[in-house]
Amino acid sequence: MLPIVDQVRHKIGLEKLQKMGPTAQTAIKKDLAGISPDMARYAIEATCGDIYSRPGLDPKYREMIAIAALTTLGFALPQLKIHVEAALEGGCTRSEIEEIIIQMSVYIGWPAAFNAMSAANEVFESRSS
Amino acid sequence: MLPIVDQVRHKIGLEKLQKMGPTAQTAIKKDLAGISPDMARYAIEATCGDIYSRPGLDPKYREMIAIAALTTLGFALPQLKIHVEAALEGGCTRSEIEEIIIQMSVYIGWPAAFNAMSAANEVFESRSS
Amino acid sequence: MLPIVDQVRHKIGLEKLQKMGPTAQTAIKKDLAGISPDMARYAIEATCGDIYSRPGLDPKYREMIAIAALTTLGFALPQLKIHVEAALEGGCTRSEIEEIIIQMSVYIGWPAAFNAMSAANEVFESRSS
Amino acid sequence: MLPIVDQVRHKIGLEKLQKMGPTAQTAIKKDLAGISPDMARYAIEATCGDIYSRPGLDPKYREMIAIAALTTLGFALPQLKIHVEAALEGGCTRSEIEEIIIQMSVYIGWPAAFNAMSAANEVFESRSS
Amino acid sequence: MLPIVDQVRHKIGLEKLQKMGPTAQTAIKKDLAGISPDMARYAIEATCGDIYSRPGLDPKYREMIAIAALTTLGFALPQLKIHVEAALEGGCTRSEIEEIIIQMSVYIGWPAAFNAMSAANEVFESRSS
Amino acid sequence: MLPIVDQVRHKIGLEKLQKMGPTAQTAIKKDLAGISPDMARYAIEATCGDIYSRPGLDPKYREMIAIAALTTLGFALPQLKIHVEAALEGGCTRSEIEEIIIQMSVYIGWPAAFNAMSAANEVFESRSS
């Protein structure tokens, strides 16, 4: 059994995760939990519960900076797609996401920005069909 | 002599650069221009003139995603400090910048986030003294 | 309508892009332009038009350093394959490209060098068949 | 013909490579040797022969730090899978490998750790079936 | 006031932090806490309390894989020095740390390994004087 | 005593190292050898002896791709400065080195390119005074 306060963090984390859309939920609660339940628990409690739920920044802007960071990493395209979906769920427009990725080219060069734009487009297309 | 439209881009870029604060201006117009005038020109025209001046995203949010990207790179602390200053000039609060860097730990781990927070704090302190 | 001088840069960029071979052209003019026309325009004007067309370095050596950079990034295998093709179009031999990637192992380790050699080999094989 | 001492290093390297399991052997002796025989030779002599065969660290711990490094790189999932197999061959448990990858999240963030856990799981599943 | 269970995690984290040596404690409890108390709290509770205190891996090996990861990042030399000290406090020998860093050159190349060896040596020298 | 063929590789490596200029020699034969003699030996034999001495690429172009790779890494400024010196010793001009670094901005963004240009300039200035 999880300790009391972790259950609070777990509950807050699950609520936050639900707002991020179905891809995030499948990735954490089904895929990752099926491989490493402890890692899934940290993702829910420490990432969604503690950090994403901090009050100091609007959830929409949290998704925008997530897209910036995941584009910058270069290799994190599965996570980028999760946060593009979460950004759209949270009120970002497709055009704003395109702007973020275009601006990233300044800091990280064109290859990572190209690959990110292509991954984001897969999310856009999957939602418009 | 620069070609006509590049002078337009140059002028737009310089106006944008001026709004980013004195550290950005010294870095591009004095330090970089003294080493490689062509590179300084690209920084002004292509980065500040073309991309930072695109209308699709509020300048404040452009600085927030810049901080996210530069924190993620890990090695770009001089540029991070320039954009922390630009973010403060553009209306971000110290608390919002702290939130961005804390959230970055999720995507990039604690070492890069620690070093970024320490660099950002140098900017905060230099402005409060 | 694009402004006058950007049309000059656009024309120079398209000429440079054409010399890079069919994969580069498809990637920028078809794939990227279909997703983000503005990003495709920057790729043509700022990357191919401004930087690749600078006179200070022979195009063959520009492709060699592109291969070095893209191998080093580790995650940029689609772009590496474009520049391996462009290097072969521009007069590099398969053996020179192999030498570049072997040397990269010194600076970036074997995993990135292995994956780059494997990606380069896909280009070699697609052209010999 | 290889020079005498290189044959010694080659022999030591091949013995070490054999202990790493079938995936490592296929990757180096078949795949890489088919593309770039010189690169395969360096991998066998310099990596397996010289460094992995140094006496100062138990082979099991050499595999543990390999998993840490390859998880950290983010883009090196094929090599990570080779070393997960080698770690299991060398006496690491599945649980220890899971612990390593969970700990990596502290230094490199969750996306790289997630992708590494998923790649490691593919190795675990391929051996349990 | 912190919630009950967070106080438990905080206490476990502080105990773990104390075993890592004086540099780690100064970095977290004085330097970071002076800049961002919330980030210091996460470092103590989530990193030291949750992850470093997991039972599945001997603390000595946790420090060895930390050195591998921080060497691989390339830019994380301040954190590398903290964990070199923690490794020595936890029973690693100078020779084992040297072996880890030499082996890292295989995965990440020589520049990051050189800079890590130089940083580790600063810790060795500060303790032998 | 080193084995026979390693003495051959060592001799070839030392000859190559000497052509790279005084900074490279101090870094390997004095600084690194004083910290980790084995690592210095690998640097001389495996890097300078084996790879830099391969015949398939002109030494001047080997230095150009080294500058490309070390600029791309972002954190490897000490090594970049060594290879900028080696490039100048090997017949590259200051202008060619500036071109390489400007082109790198396409693949890696401006922060790493800026920091590399600044480091290269330190080498240029130290040689002109």
Q: Give the domain-ending residue among C34, C56, C78.
A: C56
Say if residue A17 is in the same domain as residue A40: yes
| pLDDT computed for residue C6 by the predictor | 81
Q: Is E98's Cβ below 8 Å from some Cβ in A?
A: no
Residue of B nearest to F74 (CA): B75
F52 plus F62 within the same structural domain: no
Q: What is the mean pLDDT of residues B27-38?
A: 96
Q: Which of the listed residues C56, C84, C99 is the one where a domain comes to its end?
A: C56
Indicate whether C116 pLDDT > 80: yes
Task: Give the C-alpha separation, C89 to C52, whole Å.
Answer: 15
* pLDDT score recorded for residue B114: 97
Give the domain range for residue D45: 1-56
> Could you tell me which residues come within 8 angstroms of residue C38 by beta carbon, excluding any fewer than 6 positions away?
A98, A102, B54
Tens of pLDDT, residue by residue over F26-51, are 999 999 999 999 999 999 999 999 99
pLDDT digits (tens, 9 = 90+) for D9-42: 999 999 999 999 999 999 999 999 999 999 999 9
Listed in sequence order, the residues at least 6 apart from F111 whose beta carbon sits closer than 8 Å to its beta carbon are A107, B70, B73, B75, B76, B78, B79, F74
* Residue indicated by tokens 């949270």: A90
In chain F, DSSP finds a helix count (H) and a strand count (E) of 8, 0
Chain F nearest-CA distance from E110, in A, is 8
Whether residue F70 is found in the same domain as residue F95: yes
Query: For chain E, which ranges sit under pLDDT 50?
Result: none
- Chain D contact for E54 (CB, 8 A cutoff): yes
According to the model, what pLDDT value does residue D76 have? 98
Q: Is the pTM of this model over 0.90?
A: yes
Lowest-confidence region among A3-12, A76-85, B80-89, C7-16: A3-12
Note the pLDDT tens digit of each residue in C9-31.
999 999 999 999 999 999 999 99
Structure tokens at F69: 């790779």
What are the structure tokens assigned to A48, written together? Answer: 């969604």
Contact between residue E111 and residue F73 where contact means Cβ atoms under 8 Å apart: yes
Question: What number of C-beta contacts closer than 8 Å exist between D and F?
Answer: 20
Q: Does F125 touch chain E (CB under 8 A)?
A: no
What the block records as the tokens of D72 is: 């950290």
Do D69 and D50 share a domain, yes or no? no
Nearest to C115 among D38, D42, D78 (CB): D78
Calculate the alpha carbon distances from B107 to A73, C35, D77, F48 in Å. Answer: 8, 26, 18, 37
Nearest CA-CA distance, residue C13 and chain F, Å: 14
The pLDDT, as a whole number, for residue B6 is 81
Q: What is the pLDDT of residue E2?
A: 63
D75/chain E closest Cα distance in angstroms? 11
∠ CA F87-F88-F90, rounded to 5°: 65
D109/B108 CB distance under 8 A? yes
> What's the CA angle centered on E9, arms E7 and E13, to 5 degrees?
115
In this structure, what CATH number is given to the domain that contains residue D69? 1.20.1290.10
**Domain boundary residue, one of B11, B27, B56:** B56
Give the number of domains in chain A.
2
Residues E38 and E81 in one domain: no
Task: Say what the pLDDT of residue E98 is.
Answer: 98
Nearest to F39 by CA among D66, E110, D45, E77: E110
Looking at the fold, whether D48 and D65 belong to one and the same domain comes out as no
Residue of E nearest to B123 (CA): E35
pLDDT of residue D38: 95
Question: What's the mean pLDDT in A77-103?
Answer: 98
Q: How would residue C62 be classed by pLDDT, with cut points 50, 70 and 90?
A: very high
pLDDT over 80 (residue F84): yes
Q: Are A59 and A19 in contact (CB under 8 A)?
A: yes
pLDDT at D4: 74
> So what's the pLDDT on residue D31?
95
Whether A73 and D114 lie within 8 Å, measured CB to CB: no
Backbone phi and psi for residue C102, each to the nearest 5 degrees, phi listed first: -60, -45
CA angle E108, E113, E115 (to 5 degrees): 130
- What pLDDT was estimated at residue F2? 62
Mean pLDDT (chain B) is 95
Residue D2 confidence (pLDDT) above 70: no
Query: Is the predicted pLDDT of residue C95 greater than 90, yes or no?
Result: yes
Residues C35 and C73 in one domain: no
Q: Are residues C98 and C115 in the same domain?
A: yes
| B67 and B128 part of one domain | yes
Q: Same structural domain for residues E28 and E75?
A: no
Question: Given its phi and psi angles, is residue A92 left (phi above 0), alpha (psi -120 to 50 degrees) or beta?
Answer: beta
Chain A residues with beta carbon closer than 8 angstroms to that of C78: 111, 114-115
pLDDT in tens, A22-61: 999 999 999 999 999 999 999 999 999 999 999 999 999 9
Tell whether E48 and E65 lie within a shared domain.
no
D51-61 residue pLDDT tens: 999 999 999 99
pLDDT of D1 > 60? The answer is: no
**For range F80-109, the mean pLDDT:** 98
Question: Residue C5's pLDDT is what?
Answer: 78
Nearest to E64 by CA among E79, E50, E83: E83
Cα separation of B21 and A35, whole Å? Answer: 49
DSSP per residue, A58-98: -HHHHHHHHHHHHHHHSS-HHHHHHHHHHHHHTT--HHHHH
Q: Using H for helix, E for strand and C for coil, what is the string for B77-117?
A: HHHHHHHHHHHHHCCCCHHHHHHHHHHHHHHHCHHHHHHHH
CA separation, residue C91 to residues C48, C58, F90 (Å): 18, 11, 23
* Chain F interface test: which of E110, E123, E125 (most F C-beta within 10 Å): E110
Which are the contacts of E8, defined by CB distance < 8 A and separation ≥ 6?
A: A3
DSSP letter at C77 equals H
Cα four-point dihedral sign B79, B84, B85, B90: positive
Based on the domain organization, do F61 and F110 belong to the same domain? Answer: yes
Average pLDDT over residues A12-25: 96
How many residues are present in chain B?
129
Pair E93, D93: CB distance under 8 Å: no
